[in-house]
A and B are shown apart, each in its own frame.
Chain A
């Protein structure tokens, strides 16, 4: 019995951590949707949803119920298997990066001796990350790039020319902007010397004051990343795959009910992911300057306030997304491609070269 518990314990902890992370992310995402509708309402001089619950706070759950109970329509001539696969791929790929989000600093001054069978022995700290892996940045980039399949396959399998066009456009767009996005991150990686997301945060903490947050030495990289992030998440002004005026609703025209909800959810989780990345790479992640003077590093309160700081940074980005959606018009497709290849990518590459030169001179 003891042996079994001992062998299962680490896996159980991992699952528990993943579940907690999932819950937190889902709640944030649900309220992002609500916030979007509210903020857009205010920008347009409306009130926004206000019927379900106080100030419309229960609206996300009402939406969810609606999605679940709606009729699920499957087009006759669709390629069934792929049609079902596409939303699953989209949402899985959106959720996967969650395991490497650096939610907060590790809690080190803990005592786990109360656990039975000596399960707490040898555990020195509780990291607030599900899995701390050596190649976190690459992992996130890789998984999000696999997410393209969800959209491309959805467009293809619907057997609808608007969906196909939407899928094609979206694949082209994602492939193009992934390059600029990757190139904009390289500057940060060079400064930090690691691909580990927590490592990047620690690198920012230990930097001299003028590069305490990498947004200062990497401002160009930050701007490029932000723009590319809009394109990667199919948000206005880069929401061509679902341009209503041209393509009905793009790749998910033929999707309804829960399958549509999965796409919808995937999109918002992706938004959350890029916000996390942005905050981690350029704004110091969970690192709040001066916090270590208030609480000892490694204590529970330090961790809690760090997490709060991190969430505030993420919320700022999420708000920025909504703000942009409310105010900017949409690009044309050729403008979008030209912008990505002829402006964004060269700028990102120039930034990489500039960073290399900077690092060389700073270290010699």
Chain B
């Protein structure tokens, strides 16, 4: 009873936040909506008896990744999207078709799984607890954990290279090129500050 209340409450919240994520033009509002989705999903994981994943979801997604995104939004001081100028109209068609196909597929999955012969849902309460995750991670998933280590190391290197400021001579070239291309002198000052 409580489970289903929690589930439907947060499922609704998640979907509402997801729609708001797509709907809002302001990236910061989108980010806040996404945080809403992430936290709702964390609560839903609790109903699936996966407290560890729920905690990690909040810790990594909401607490690290999305903070980084919000940080970048604030750092770049992004405004609302400009009105559509040169958007290719066929993209909307593609988006619509893709959405419909995926939605149909969702119904199909629901139908297929709903109709499948009921197998008793396993209620092994230890699965999902920290102990089982830890044991799995150091036995069955030892190699993936090692690969993730390499992956994270590499992405640190990559992120540092990309986000590092340009050195001065290169910087000048970039500014001049861009100004020439844009032919807008009024943005010049802003540009130099931003860089």
A residues with CB within 8 A of B: 7, 11, 79, 81-82, 85, 133-135, 138-139, 141-143, 145-146, 148-149, 152-153, 155-156, 164, 167-168, 171-172, 174-175, 178, 194-195
CA distance A153 to B66 in the complex (A): 12
Given contacts A139-B55, A142-B62, A175-B64, 9 further A-B contacts (CB under 8 A): A79-B28, A81-B29, A135-B52, A135-B130, A138-B52, A142-B55, A153-B32, A153-B70, A167-B74
Q: Interface readout for B58-72 with A: 1 if CB under 8 Å, 0 if not?
A: 110011100110110
- CB within 8 A of A148: which of B28, B32, B51, B63? B63
Please tell me if the beta carbons of A142 and B74 are within 8 angstroms of each other in the complex.
no
Please tell me if the beta carbons of A168 and B58 are within 8 angstroms of each other in the complex.
no
CA distance A145 to B51 in the complex (A): 17
CA distance A174 to B55 in the complex (A): 19
**CB closest residue in chain B, given A145:** B63
Task: Determine how close the nearest CB of chain B comes to the CB of A363; give it in whole angstroms.
Answer: 15
Please tell me if the beta carbons of A168 and B75 are within 8 angstroms of each other in the complex.
yes
Task: Determine how close the nearest CB of chain A comes to the CB of B74; give it in whole angstroms.
Answer: 5
B56 CB within 8 Å of chain A: yes
- CB within 8 A of A149: which of B2, B54, B70? B70
- A152 partner residues in chain B, CB cutoff 8 A: 67, 70-71, 74
Please tell me if the beta carbons of A133 and B28 are within 8 angstroms of each other in the complex.
no
How many A-B contacts are there with CB distance less than 8 Å?
A: 82
Q: Restricting to B56-102, which residues have a CB under 8 Å from any CB of A?
A: 56, 58-59, 62-64, 67-68, 70-71, 73-75, 77
Interface of A is mostly: helix
B35 CB within 8 Å of chain A: yes
- B62 partner residues in chain A, CB cutoff 8 A: 142, 145-146
B129 CB within 8 Å of chain A: yes
CA distance A171 to B67 in the complex (A): 8
CA distance A134 to B130 in the complex (A): 7
**CB closest residue in chain B, given A85:** B32
- CB within 8 A of A172: which of B51, B71, B77? B71
- CB within 8 A of A142: which of B58, B71, B130? B58
**CB closest residue in chain B, given A194:** B130
- CB within 8 A of A145: which of B32, B39, B67, B73? B67
Q: Interface readout for B1-38 with A: 1 if CB under 8 Å, 0 if not?
A: 11000000000000000000000000011001001000
Task: Determine how close the nearest CB of chain B comes to the CB of A44; give it in whole angstroms.
Answer: 36
- B58 partner residues in chain A, CB cutoff 8 A: 139, 142-143, 145-146
CA distance A174 to B28 in the complex (A): 19
Selected A-B contacts with CB under 8 Å, 23 pairs: A7-B1, A11-B2, A82-B29, A82-B32, A85-B32, A135-B54, A138-B52, A139-B58, A145-B64, A146-B62, A148-B63, A149-B67, A149-B70, A152-B67, A152-B70, A153-B70, A164-B77, A168-B71, A168-B75, A172-B71, A175-B64, A175-B67, A178-B64
- B56 partner residues in chain A, CB cutoff 8 A: 138, 142
CA distance A167 to B75 in the complex (A): 10
CA distance A82 to B26 in the complex (A): 12
Ranked 10 nearest A-B pairs via Cβ: A145-B63, A142-B58, A138-B55, A142-B59, A135-B55, A134-B51, A135-B51, A171-B71, A195-B130, A156-B74
CA distance A11 to B5 in the complex (A): 13
Task: Determine how close the nearest CB of chain B comes to the CB of A277; give it in whole angstroms.
Answer: 15
Task: Determine how close the nearest CB of chain A comes to the CB of B58; give it in whole angstroms.
Answer: 4
